[in-house]
Structure 1
Amino acid sequence: MPVSCPVSAPESAEAPTDLLRRRYGADQGSQTSDWNAVLETILSHRSIRTYLPKKVPESALQLIVAAAQSAPTSSSLQAWSVVAVEDADRKAKLAELASPNPQILSAPLFLVWLADLSRLRKIATDHGKSGEGLDYFESFLLGAIDAALAAQNALVALESLGLGSCYIGGIRNHPAAVGEVLGLPPETFAVFGMTVGYPDPSVETEIKPRLPQSLVLHREQYRASAREPELAVYDDTMRTFQAGQGMAVRGWTAVAANRIADAASLKGRHVLLDILRRMGFKTR
């Protein structure tokens, strides 16, 4: 399979301390004694929602998938697949099902990452086995985790090639309809989508600050304290970011609370388990 790719990696533009400061919205001291191009690519990540009308080369797609297949996979079961969508009509249908989501229309390539138990079911049948192990929730979870690990590898790879991307969780709003558009067999589920393309340089996108490490890094045992002062500081950091990006200035905690407020806030995904069963998953 030819994998030579004409896409060149972006040149380094920022010092490690600058990238860390932008990732957290504050200076992080001198935590940069170990640094390399991979870390630079990862810490430079930002969601890209506006793309140039330029096709993603087939060679780049092959490299992206090779990177995805280089991710860890539970028991080497490789319980995932990905559908590459470039057809405008098909993208339009998926965009409508995902909220709607216009960035799917503008992206030259839309990748839909699947938890795929159908391949394993066929393998079990071919070997005279029932494949009962696939009937438990653990197997669905395994497929979803495998898909997520593969997709994140793909994201780092495509960004290293100068491409941009954004995850689309809205693909789970209408999973059965998405399955019909993509011709998915039973026991195959679209976990999320991913727009891919060349970023439009006229649209500046800043690195979004994340929670401080003190809120996510636990040593030896989990600390249950809410750490309200640190969350308040992060709210201020996010308000500054939102204002700079022309977004609604709401901070972070209020947005997070609204996103999980009730069943309606899940945008139809509160019935996901029932839909999974209708799509062929046993999920005991």
Structure 2
Amino acid sequence: MNATIETLLNHRSIRKFTEKPLSQEQIETIVQSAQMASTSSFIQAYTIIGVKDPSKKTKLAALAGNQSYVEKNGHFFVFCADLHRHQVAGAMENTDVGESIESTEKFLVAAVDASLAAQNAVIAAESMGLGICYIGGIRNNVKEVGELLNLPEYVVPIFGLAVGEPAHESSPKPRLPLSHVYHEEEYNRDETAFKKDLDEYNETISAYYEKRTSGKRKDRWTEQIAGMLAEPKRLHMKGYLEEKGFLKR
């Protein structure tokens, strides 16, 4: 096992940071690492916005559901799906690219590109001893976040990333069994084996929560997920994406 694998296997979310700001060198290293992620057809359809302004962080924290670690961290990044520059590129070449960049496919490409870049950024940050936490909560009030960040047409905030020096220790959360997420040749549709894997995982997760909370919590994974999915959330996203020029085709 090498240092890269150890970093990957040791991942955990950090939700309490010291307020020591990242250096400019750290920020640039993280962004440059993100840029080296794979990108579909070299399209590079994302933008990363760094937020240092304390008042803007406070506003983002409120918009993201009052998560304190959005406000208090070493640096806050917002990863955006971005096809605005591609619209500009088309205009520079006197080529109409509207039908393409307004398609569902190109939005998926942009969202995937942003996600791949972000994971590279995470690995870079963690390799430097920093902690991270992804923030999907910025989509709670996505229109207001977009206005706060002055995002043009064809640019949508996908998630935030809080980065900084960890102020507490945290243990990795057990993932689903390998046999449950890795299938060979075709999808394994054996429902008996499927449910057996989930039953075993439920026991693992319940024990993890019970130990972590000194018995205050011991919910099972399927219980947690069913509860979360029982009520649809962020149904405003479709309208916002269409408003920003996406999903027209």
Aligned pair 1:157/2:99, yes or no?
Answer: no
What's the offset of the Cα at 1:166? 0.6
Which residues of structure 2 form unaligned runs of 5+? none
TM-score (norm 2): 0.95
- Which stretches of structure 1, 4 residues or longer, exceed 6 Å deviation after superposition? none
2:186 to 200, 221, 227: 221
Aligned pair 1:36/2:2, yes or no?
Answer: yes
What's the offset of the Cα at 1:225? 2.9
Task: Show the counterpart of 2:135.
Answer: 168
The 5 Å alignment of 1:42-81 reads 42-81=8-47
Deviation string 1:57-114 (CA, Å, 9 cap, x unpaired) is: 1101111011101100000010001000111110111111112211111112111000
TM-score (norm 1): 0.83
Count of residues paired in the alignment: 244
2:89 to 119, 123, 126: 123
Contact 1:50–1:103 (CA under 8 A) maintained in structure 2: yes
Contact 2:103–2:248 (CA under 8 A) maintained in structure 1: yes
Aligned pair 1:135/2:102, yes or no?
Answer: yes
Task: Show the counterpart of 1:261.
Answer: 230
Q: Distance in 2 between matches of 1:225 and 1:60?
A: 47
Task: Show the counterpart of 1:239.
Answer: 206
What's the offset of the Cα at 1:282? 4.8
Which residues of structure 1 form unaligned runs of 5+? 1-34
> Which residue type is aligned with residue 42 of structure 1?
L
Q: Distance in 2 between matches of 1:189 and 1:45?
A: 27
> Which residue type is aligned with residue 257 of structure 1?
A
Deviation string 1:105-149 (CA, Å, 9 cap, x unpaired) is: 111211100000101111111111111211111111100000000
Task: Show the counterpart of 2:221.
Answer: 252
Q: Distance in 1 between matches of 2:25 and 2:206?
A: 40
Contact 1:186–1:281 (CA under 8 A) maintained in structure 2: no
1:110 to 65, 76, 83: 76
Contact 2:102–2:245 (CA under 8 A) maintained in structure 1: no
Q: Distance in 2 between matches of 1:225 and 1:185?
A: 47
Q: Distance in 1 between matches of 2:188 and 2:205?
A: 24
> Which residue type is aligned with residue 244 of structure 1?
K
Pairwise CA RMSD: 1.2
Contact 1:163–1:196 (CA under 8 A) maintained in structure 2: yes
Q: Distance in 2 between matches of 1:114 and 1:156?
A: 19
